């Protein structure tokens, strides 16, 4: 799979397209099987929920903040970034692992040499 840095905010994407790397840590990509319209709807929901977290914090509303965090989590699950993995080859979920401690270690080491 191509290195799709545009989909990961300019961060390196693993060769299999499952993760992008920020400060050495793997973060799961969205499910590529989502249609463009559905993906955009979910991203919009995620951004709305993140804004709601900030608003609730500024207002000091713990109940609203908890509800907003739940909405963020639901959107991330729907996008495939959390919860069950979207691939079907049995590979483990390495989300949030340090790249240097995973099977991507050699690939990640090469990223610094480019």
Counting the structural domains of the chain, the total is: 2
Quick: pLDDT tens for 52-101: 999 999 999 999 999 999 999 999 999 999 999 999 999 999 999 999 99
Identify whether residues 19 and 48 lie together within a single domain. no
Q: Is 4's pLDDT higher than 70?
A: no
Quick: pLDDT tens for 5-54: 556 678 999 999 999 999 999 999 999 999 999 999 999 999 999 999 99
- Dist. CA 30–CA 46, nearest whole Å: 12
3-state DSSP call for residue 84?
coil
- Dist. CA 76–CA 27, nearest whole Å: 12
- Going by C-alpha positions, the residue among 42, 71, 31, 33 that lies closest to residue 55 is 71
Cβ distance 42 to 75 under 8 Å?
yes
- Dist. CA 81–CA 97, nearest whole Å: 14
Identify whether residues 63 and 97 lie together within a single domain. no
Q: What is the pTM of this model?
A: 0.86
pLDDT band at 3 (very low <50, low <70, confident <90, very high): very low
Domain that holds residue 57: 35-80
Identify whether residues 24 and 41 lie together within a single domain. no
Identify whether residues 112 and 98 lie together within a single domain. yes
Cβ distance 17 to 86 under 8 Å?
no
Identify whether residues 42 and 72 lie together within a single domain. yes
């Amino acid at each position: 799979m191509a290195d799709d840095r545009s989909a990961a905010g300019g961060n390196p994407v693993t060769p299999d397209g499952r993760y992008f790397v920020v400060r050495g840590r793997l973060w799961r990509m969205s499910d590529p099987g989502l249609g463009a319209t559905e993906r955009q709807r979910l991203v919009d929901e995620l951004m709305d929920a993140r804004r709601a977290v900030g608003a609730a914090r500024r207002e000091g509303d713990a109940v609203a903040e908890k509800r907003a965090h739940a909405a963020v989590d639901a959107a991330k699950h729907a996008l495939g970034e959390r919860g069950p993995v979207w691939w079907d080859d049995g590979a483990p979920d390495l989300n949030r692992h340090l790249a240097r401690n995973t099977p991507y270690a050699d690939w990640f080491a090469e990223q610094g040499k480019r």
